[in-house]
Amino acid sequence: MRLSDLARVIRSKNAGPRRLTLDIMFGSEADYQRVVRSPALGADAIGRLYRVPAEDVRVIPYPAGRAIKIVLPRGIMAGDPGDCDVYGAQQHAPLLGIEV
């Protein structure tokens, strides 16, 4: 099953000019537990998906909110030449097709 089928919200935004945060929220405890236990959203997998070293990826589960926050470095600082998403609001797309 794809992550986009399980999550109610998948979004991205800047966490400062050099970091990106990916937020994934679930409507049920069962869906949250299925994903949080899966290696599909581990630091290694996210690092490969976003082409950053796994040691630079932080995966933060938040059980009380049935959410997962992922923080990683931006490839280009927000607003620098070559940046095509100043707010980081379109960077969640690679997560949509992840198989869990």
Give the rounded percent of residues in the chain with a pLDDT score beyond 70.
100
Give yes or no for residue 75 having a pLDDT over 90: no
Query: How confident is residue 7, by pLDDT bands cut at 50, 70 and 90?
Result: very high
Say what percent of the chain tops pLDDT 90: 97
Mean pLDDT for the stretch of residues 58-73: 98
pLDDT, residue 43, reads 97
Secondary structure string (H, E, C) spanning 19-77: EEEEEEEECCHHHHHHHHCCHHHCHHHHHHHHCCCHHHCEEEEEHHHCEEEEEEECCCC
Average pLDDT rounded to a whole number, residues 32-55 = 97
Cα distance between residue 40 and residue 87, in whole Å: 26
Q: Which residue has the tokens 């236990």?
A: 37
Going from the N-terminus, what domains does the chain have, and what CATH number goes with each? Answer: 3-75 (3.30.70)
Supply the pLDDT for residue 33. Answer: 97
Under the banding of pLDDT at 50, 70 and 90, the label for residue 67 is very high
pTM, two decimal places: 0.94
